[in-house]
Amino acid sequence: MPPHDDEQQQLLANRLLEETAYDYSDKVHIIGVDEHDGEDFTQVPPFSWKKLWLFTGPGFLMSIAFLDPGNLEGDLQAGAIAGYSLLWLLFWATAIGLLIQLLSARLGVATSRHLAELCRDEYPTWARLLLWIMAELALIGADIQEVIGSAIAIKILSRGFLPLWSGVVITALDCFIFLFLENYGVRKLEALFAALIAVMAFSFAWMFGETKPNGVELLVGIVVPKLSSKTIKQAVGIVGCVIMPHNVFLHSALVQSREIDHHRVGRVREALKYYSIESTAALTISFIINLFVTTVFAKSFYGSEIANSIGLENAGQYLQEKYGGGVFPILYIWAIGLLAAGQSSTITGTYAGQFIMGGFLHMRLKKWQRALITRSCAIIPTLIVALAFDTSEKSLDVLNEWLNVLQSVQIPFALIPLLCLVSKEEIMGVFKIGSTLKVISWLVAALVIMINGYLLMDSLSSAVSGVLFTSVVFAFTGGYVAFIVYLILRGITFPDWFVKNKSITSIEN
């Protein structure tokens, strides 16, 4: 074996001795399954359905972020305002999300560490703490949307008996369900999420069947790109909702729930192959569910007078008024799907918060302590929001738009560190991404950052007024851009010939 490979294997062995995202006893053990004596060190074993089943789970937990209440609101507004015309963008946004999540999984599998842990070691203290604050803000913004969505569903199902704030309190208790199931193994937790995704799929498929959207227009919407000045805001919202900063951190940790043999390059490549298959399958299902929601509201409200006023809270009522009660009222079908989306996404938010806090701050707390801290960070501001906006649907929709802006602002602080780390040979070894994938990934990241930058500027231009407030906004914008530039420049790796020529030039001078 070459000396470089020896060093790489020793580095991986040392990392395995450190505390990881999952305790050894909590992991699904795949070492020894379908293994044979005398196996080639670099050989990737043939495909196995049994192995795929054992690796299936992390991708479906990750896909929950593509189905949270914020995404559902983006879907229904895109359908009501733009009709079928933005379905192509939903497809490509999901494909972009898949690329980013596969890079996140690659980082976690190859290094045996997750993104927050690697950022802690990669950046100086001030930058690490700033990245942590940004990740926490993104998580809190996402969690407020998720908890409010779940609380709206509870309010609908209780026929208004339970106000929004009580739904928030009920949803807050889901962290204890999470802790209870986690004690029985990661596969039990994954089964819960699979069940919740199935509930969403069933509910929104039922709605799809009830409303009978136009199949030809649906196919044309997916295949033919269309964009107008009237739908640009909804288009930006679709892309912004799909890329969730906390989800990038989460997936790099979730893949470590499987115990694989990191001493064999072939086994690591095998894990990456199976994670790619299951992540693709999970996001295909999420795309179909989002497609159901968008087309239902496109068929029902596109071109109507109320198209611009539809949000999470009144969407079910509008559907009920249009299609009536039926055997099972469509209002409650909508609420059940929304509840499944809200509950599942709040639990994954708690999960992501544990990894983010533990990774950046190197905290060694018990699971219940980390879950309680993470849940409190989101529930307290969410309760304030619920009490303040319980009687105002319009204000709640405006708040949701600003929460989307908040998460959009944080996207570069997850994407840029991820792309920098997966490109570094000293971190990834033989698993670093190649030049072609690197170029594609940076172009995608630049596109996503520019789209979300447009959303930020558009939102601020309509809200900023007064000299003092404008000055403060410009100051923060300057600091924001400067930090992004710092992260990019720090992650740039120059080719060997450039470094060598630069050294020769400095010696000659």
CATH, residue 402: 1.20.1740.10
Domain residues for the domain of 301 are 44-491
- Classify 390 as helix, strand or coil: coil
Q: 307 lies in a domain? A: yes
Point out the least confidently predicted range of 53-57, 362-366, 388-392, 469-473: 388-392
Q: 8 lies in a domain? A: no
Please say if the pLDDT value at position 441 is more than 60.
Answer: yes
Kindly state the tokens that stand for 278. 């299951």
Q: 381 lies in a domain? A: yes
Please say if the pLDDT value at position 42 is more than 60.
Answer: yes
Q: 378 falls in which pLDDT band (50, 70, 90)?
A: low
- Classify 423 as helix, strand or coil: coil
pLDDT at 91: 94
User: Which residues does 456 contact at the CB level (< 8 Å), separation at least 6?
Assistant: 405, 408, 409
- Classify 28 as helix, strand or coil: strand
CB-based burial label for 205 (10 Å; 0-12, 13-18, 19+): middle
User: pLDDT per residue over 450-496, tens digit each?
Assistant: 877 776 676 666 666 667 767 777 788 788 889 999 998 887 754 54
Q: 509 lies in a domain? A: no
Going by the DSSP 8-state scheme, the letter that residue 258 receives in this structure is E
pLDDT at 506: 44
Helix (H) or strand (E) holding 29: strand 28-29
Q: 114 lies in a domain? A: yes
- The total number of structural domains that make up the chain: 1
pLDDT at 26: 73
Q: 37 lies in a domain? A: no
Q: 505 lies in a domain? A: no
User: pLDDT per residue over 78-133, tens digit each?
Assistant: 899 988 999 999 999 999 999 999 999 999 999 989 999 999 999 999 999 999 99
Averaged pLDDT of the chain: 81
Q: 499 falls in which pLDDT band (50, 70, 90)?
A: very low
Give mean pLDDT, residues 211-229: 87
Please say if the pLDDT value at position 3 is more than 80.
Answer: no
Helix (H) or strand (E) holding 434: none
User: pLDDT per residue over 191-208, tens digit each?
Assistant: 888 999 999 999 999 999
Q: 501 lies in a domain? A: no
